[in-house]
Structure 1
Amino acid sequence: MKRTAATRRQAEQRGRKGERFAQIWLALRGWRTLAKRVRNPRGKVDLVMRRGNVVAFIEVKWRRDAEQLDHAIDMYRLRRVAAAAEACAHDYVMPGEDYRIDVMLVAPGQIPRHIVNAWQP
């Protein structure tokens, strides 16, 4: 199915809404936002969050229904997020701190699923 500019725009708006929801969800659990939508030549990271001495580079996936979330993330996407995180980690991670790649799966009417340390090369 070919996506039109309007459907791409709608998907982008839903994705940003999912990112805002994930950001608020994590903030209520003690995470502090360091950056949003970080882009570099190696990829994009949706959220960079810190709690204590851990910095999480977070990929957010929003789907219309929870059943679609099971297939929202794959190794290709995780590898791209990991590459983007590695390229910019020096901007957010201080010496002695840990960092990881997390995934937030978001669907309307569902409690978000936070997959901790989703990427382990």
Structure 2
Amino acid sequence: MTRQRAEQQGRRAESIAAGWLRLHGWRILAQRVRTPRGEVDLVAKRRGLVAFVEVKARTKAADLETAIDLRRLKRVAAAAEILYPEYCKKGEDARIDVILVAPRRLPTHLTNVWHGF
């Protein structure tokens, strides 16, 4: 897959994930937030809880099992630490979630995947 095609697939998956979150009562605060330590795909809020969300897309559902690993989660956690003061100004709780996207299936929302945050 070319870099450009992978970028398009990633943006499409992020749009799907954002829509999924909205359907479940979340408000999207930001998308593709970059920090010196890494990027957070989505920042969402619902009832005093802020979620820093990593979105992973695969062309085959079977490949979703290996889409997220400890190295990626560490990068998201490092970025979330930097972003926490900006998005959790009122002392809201925060967590790191992952949304997995593949064709012909509903997104899979994994909640609170990082316990070091």
TM-score range, shorter chain: over 0.9
The counterpart of 2:44, out of the listed 33, 40, 49, is 49
Identity percentage over the alignment? 56
Q: What pairs with 1:81-96 in structure 2 (closer than 5 Å)?
A: 81-96=76-91
Post-superposition offset of 1:94: 2.5
| 1:118 match | 113
1:67-109 Cα distance to aligned partner (Å, 9 max, x none): 0000000000000000001011111012331000000000011
For the residue of structure 2 that corresponds to 1:46, the secondary structure is strand
| 1:26 match | 21
TM-score normalized by the length of structure 2: 0.96
| 2:60 match | 65
TM-score normalized by the length of structure 1: 0.93
**Matched residues in 1 for 2:78 and 2:36: separation?**
9
For the residue of structure 2 that corresponds to 1:96, the secondary structure is coil
Structure 1: tracts of 5 or more residues without a match: none
| Structure 1, 85-94 or 13-22: larger mean CA deviation | 85-94
For the residue of structure 2 that corresponds to 1:61, the secondary structure is strand
Structure 2: tracts of 5 or more residues without a match: none
Post-superposition offset of 1:111: 1.1
What is the number of residues matched between the two proteins? 116
Structure 1 residue runs of 4+, over 3 Å off? Answer: none
1:10-59 Cα distance to aligned partner (Å, 9 max, x none): 00100000000000011011000100000010100000000010000000
One-letter code of the match for 2:52? F
Structure label with greater radius of gyration: 1
**Matched residues in 2 for 1:12 and 1:120: separation?**
29
**Matched residues in 1 for 2:60 and 2:8: separation?**
16
| Structure 1, 74-83 or 87-96: larger mean CA deviation | 87-96
2:35 counterpart of 1:40: yes
